[in-house]
């Protein structure tokens, strides 16, 4: 009997440990998470800033910097385009 009471207590404790954080509500002033495209664009802009710092401190050569800048710019452009497409689809759906 004691065994089953312990099992029940542990089960309730485990359920509370999982369900309480899930049921807590966000603060009204807390910002919603950014969309994937916005987060990607922030990452690529940060990479461009780091690349400029690396080039200024001669940690990377001009040829490599140019190639890296082109690749980052290509990815940034793709992220911007996917973000615009998501906003257009959202607007077309009437949401």
Gap between the terminal Cα atoms of the chain: 56
- Predicted local confidence at residue 69, as pLDDT: 95
Q: What is the pLDDT of residue 62?
A: 93
pTM: 0.50
Q: Cα(61)–Cα(49) distance, rounded to whole angstroms?
A: 16
Give the pLDDT of residue 23. 79
Name the helix (H) or strand (E) containing 81: helix 62-92
Structure confidence at residue 25 (pLDDT): 65
Residue 89: what pLDDT?
A: 47
Give the list of residues 6+ apart from residue 68 with CB closer than 8 angstroms, or none: 51, 60
Residue 60's φ and ψ, nearest 5 degrees, are -140, 140
Q: Per-residue pLDDT tens, the chain, 95 aa: give them.
A: 999 999 999 999 999 999 988 877 655 445 555 555 568 888 999 999 999 999 999 999 999 999 999 999 999 999 888 876 555 445 545 55
Contact 73, 51 (CB under 8 A): no
């Amino acid at each position: 009997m004691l065994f089953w009471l312990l099992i029940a207590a542990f089960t309730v404790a485990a359920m509370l440990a999982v369900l309480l954080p899930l049921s807590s509500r966000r603060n009204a002033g807390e910002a919603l998470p950014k969309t994937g495209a916005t987060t990607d664009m922030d990452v690529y802009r940060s990479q461009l800033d780091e690349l400029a710092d690396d080039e200024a401190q001669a940690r990377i050569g001009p040829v490599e910097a140019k190639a890296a800048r082109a690749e980052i710019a290509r990815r940034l452009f793709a992220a911007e385009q996917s973000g615009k497409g998501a906003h257009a689809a959202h607007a077309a759906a009437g949401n």
